[in-house]
Structures are given as structure tokens and as C-alpha cells.
Structure 1
Amino acid sequence: MGDSQSWTAAPSAAERARSVLAAAWSCAVTAGGGREEFVGAHTVADDGRVLLEAPEDSRLLAAAVCAPRGEPSAVIEFADVAPVPVRSRIRARLWMAGWFVPEGGRLAFRATRVVLRGASGAVVVDLDEFAAAAPDPLATAEARLLTHLADCHADAVERLTRLVDPDSLHGAVRVQPLAVDRHGVTLRIERARSHGDVRLAFHAPADDVTRLTERMHVLLTQAASCPRALQRQRTDGDG
């Protein structure tokens, strides 16, 4: 399969929300004034509906199911946690307000409002766009890919910093891979008392791990001709 022609430098809010759902292993349900955590209990339908296997003694979900049909009676929250140890590891939070209905032995959540909060603020995701969007093709592999990059290829991460504006590296004490999707890789730049993120876009989308390897190779090749920016910043700071 050839490279997709509909390419942008970053995923849409709906795609980011669906990616959070695809990768999440746990969620929290708030209903009836209480809150309950569920681990490994949900799946996601093709249209973005959350299907929850609820224990029989879940009073929160019982209250949500018994609420008037069609009225928002529950909120499900998902946290997008960076797989690599960094400051402020929660990269985004996804909230879905709506109600539960029985479906095929499980509880299906019908959302009336979807909100995604990331580093740049909260975005209300259009429900039709959310239902039609697909998660990033790397979403379920991202944790493995990033931990491998951080643990086994620290030299490659350092080389990628050569593509970063030197001003963004001022005072940097550590750089870690924070996120990767089909459109690019994001680095977390940590300083003594603050941190920031820098995104390096791919020249074309990476729709699978093989293409991701190729796109990363292109970035590293580009970086090879750039000065050792991070090393220079550290040297300047020592002086």
C-alpha cells in the first residue's frame, strides 16, 4: 500500500480522542455523585462507543442505567499517560458525558459530549467527527515503540535534538521521547524548573511500524548534518 495522500502535520482532535480510547486500559465512571475505577473492563466499538463489562455490584452504573433515558447521567474519563518516565506524565484527558444502555450483555455508553484536554487546552470534539474518526494506526504500539527508543536508542534521541531550535533547548537537562503518531514524533525537553515539548513532523505519514522506521531514519539523516545543539547548550550552561 502506498503512502496516504491526505496528509497533515498533526492528527485532528477527533483522531486524538479515538487514539486515547484505543490505547487506554482503564477508565473512571462518575455517576450519582460517586466515582468508580474500572481496569481492563472496556472495549471500543468502531463508532467510538465504549462497551463496559460492569460488575453486578456496581451501584454507580446501576444508578446511571436507571436514570431517565436520553439525559446525560454519567461521565467516563480516560487518561493518556506517557509510557516513558517524564514530568507531568498525563499527556491528555478525555471526558465523555452521556448515558449507559444495555447492549449484548454489556453496557454501551452513548455520548452526548466529548471533551479532550491536552497541553494546549480543552477542545469539544464534534460527535459526528468522533464517530467517523479512526485511531492513529500506531496508537496501540506507541508505548512499546517509545520505551524502546528511550531505553535502547538514547543516542538517536540526542541526534533528533539537532533538529530543534536552539532556543528551545536552552537550559535543557534531559530530553525524552514523549509521543509518536503517524504524523511525527514529540520530544519532552526538561529544564531544572520547567519543561516544554517540541514536535518533529515526518515528511509523509507513517501508517505502520515499517513506515515509522523509515520516517525516523529520514529525520536522523537530516539531523546528521546539523550541529550538536543539545551538547552545545549543555556546554554553554556549564560556562
Structure 2
Amino acid sequence: MQPSPAEIARTLAAGHLPAVAHIACRPGPIPVRHVTDGQGRVLLLVPAEGTLAVALRPQDGNDDTALVLDIRDVPPMATSPSLGRVWVSGWAAKLSGDEARAAALDYADTDACGDLLDIGESQELYRMEVAEVRYERNEKLVEVDPDDYAEAAPDPLRTVEFDLIADLADHHVAEMSDYVRRQLGKNAKPGDEPKVVRMDRYGFMVRMGARSARLAFPRPVTDRHDLAHLLHPILCRRCCDPAT
């Protein structure tokens, strides 16, 4: 098993990666702070007097502004492959009153930054209704259904992926190497030293010289604690083996 394009798009758009906005009839691209709420809608936190706020002001009597959010993956390690790039398109409208307060709470679930306290003064909050999602990886472009995107969940390990891979590299090289070799069987070549380079809820990717392989977990994991529970028999074989 591995993440679907919709799941990867939700993971990239979640708000943990840098993004730029391309706004219709405006110079750009413009860097933007954002997160996505539980439905995948984009929330934009915007300085009230900044370039982005000016660009987002509706024209011709409209209540919203068309834009495209462009987000590229930042791999956790220099040797890690990129998950690609996602473009999320839609219409953004400024929020106020109860809507702004509710959206600020949604924003804080991902990024509890102090600027949320200044919404309505030095900061503005916009919500973008998603109309189109495109995901690109290795020069292959996939059109993601907006409903599939909305129903997908961001990967729970993305924000701690670097820490997890670094911990395995620092403390569990031998155990992971043994585990990978057992899983690969005859496909494991002498002299290859498997290194974990990516990890998600479904499994992890290892690199062995010029080759790479993806190994699946027995089931999708729900969070870091669940992953630790699942990996415990792998990383602590001696303590789990009744013969030792």
C-alpha cells in the first residue's frame, strides 16, 4: 500500500511547507502563509496592509478572488526523493465575525501562531474554496478529484518524518538493515547498506546504493506513538524473542 494522489496532495497542502500564490490579473507569485482545514479548504493568514492583501481584494463587484496555490515538497533528507508538487485552485474570500473566529481555531490546529490574535487588526484571514487540484511528480501530472482531495487526510507522520528517519539512522541502523534484508530476501545484495529515506503512514522507502525499494507496514499507522508500537518488534527483536 502507498498514499494515493489525493492523500499526497492533502499532505503537501496541509500547511507545513512553503507556498506561493498566483492571483488572477496580479503580479506574482506571492509567498503566502496557509493551512488547510478538516475539509481541505485553504486558510490564508495575510498581513492587512501587505502585497497579498491588496492582490486578494475582489474586483468588479465580486465577493472573492481567483487564485492558485503552488506548493512544492521539501524532502526530509538530502538523499530523500521529493513527493512532488501540488497546485490547488479556487476562490478566496475574506472572513469576518464568527466565521473568522471559527476559521482561526481551525488554523491554530495546524499552526498556533501569535498572529492569529491580531485578525481583524494587523492580520486578515481568507478562506479558499477548492475547485481544482493538480498533482505532479516526476513530470507526470495527475488531476485529483476535489471530492477525493477533501475526503483524504494528511499523512500523520509528515511533520515528524525527519525526526523519525534521523532516529533510525542514529540508533537503529543494524536492526533496520537486518529487517530490510529479511523482507527483500534474495533481492538484497551483499554489501548493500539499506537506508530509510522516506516514511509515511503506509510504510517506508529504503535506498541501497543506486537501488530503492518500498516496504509496507502491516497496516496504516495513525500517529507517531502507533508507529513506535508497530516498530517495537523490529527494533527490539532480542527483547521480543522468547528464545533469548
TM-score after normalising by structure 1:
0.71
SS at match of 2:89: strand
Q: Match of 1:154?
A: 173
Superposed structure 1 runs of 4+ greater than 6 Å apart: none
Q: Distance in 2 between matches of 1:82 and 1:127?
A: 25
- Please identify which structure carries the higher strand content: 1
Q: Provide structure 1 residue ranges, at least 5 long, that are not aligned to the other structure.
A: 1-8, 223-239
Q: Match of 2:4?
A: 12
Q: Match of 2:110?
A: none
Decide which of 20, 45, 54 is 1:28's aligned counterpart: 20
Paired residues, number: 206
Counterpart mapping for 1:175-214 below 5 A: 175-191=194-210, 196-214=211-229
Q: Distance in 2 between matches of 1:111 and 1:155?
A: 45
Opposite residue 202 of structure 1, the aligned amino acid is: F
**Cα 1:13–1:170, aligned 2, differ >3 Å: closer, same or farther?**
farther
**Cα 1:22–1:208, aligned 2, differ >3 Å: closer, same or farther?**
same
**CA contact under 8 A between 2:221 and 2:227: conserved in structure 1?**
yes
**Cα 1:29–1:20, aligned 2, differ >3 Å: closer, same or farther?**
same
Q: Distance in 1 between matches of 2:180 and 2:17?
A: 31
**Cα 1:74–1:52, aligned 2, differ >3 Å: closer, same or farther?**
same
SS at match of 1:17: helix
**Cα 1:131–1:53, aligned 2, differ >3 Å: closer, same or farther?**
same
Alignment RMSD: 3.2
Q: Provide structure 2 residue ranges, at least 5 long, that are not aligned to the other structure.
A: 101-123, 238-244
1:90-117 Cα distance to aligned partner (Å, 9 max, x none): 3221111222211224011222211122
Q: Match of 2:160?
A: 141
Alpha-carbon shift at residue 20 of structure 1 (Å):
2.0
Alpha-carbon shift at residue 168 of structure 1 (Å):
7.5
TM-score after normalising by structure 2:
0.70
Q: Distance in 1 between matches of 2:131 and 2:203?
A: 31
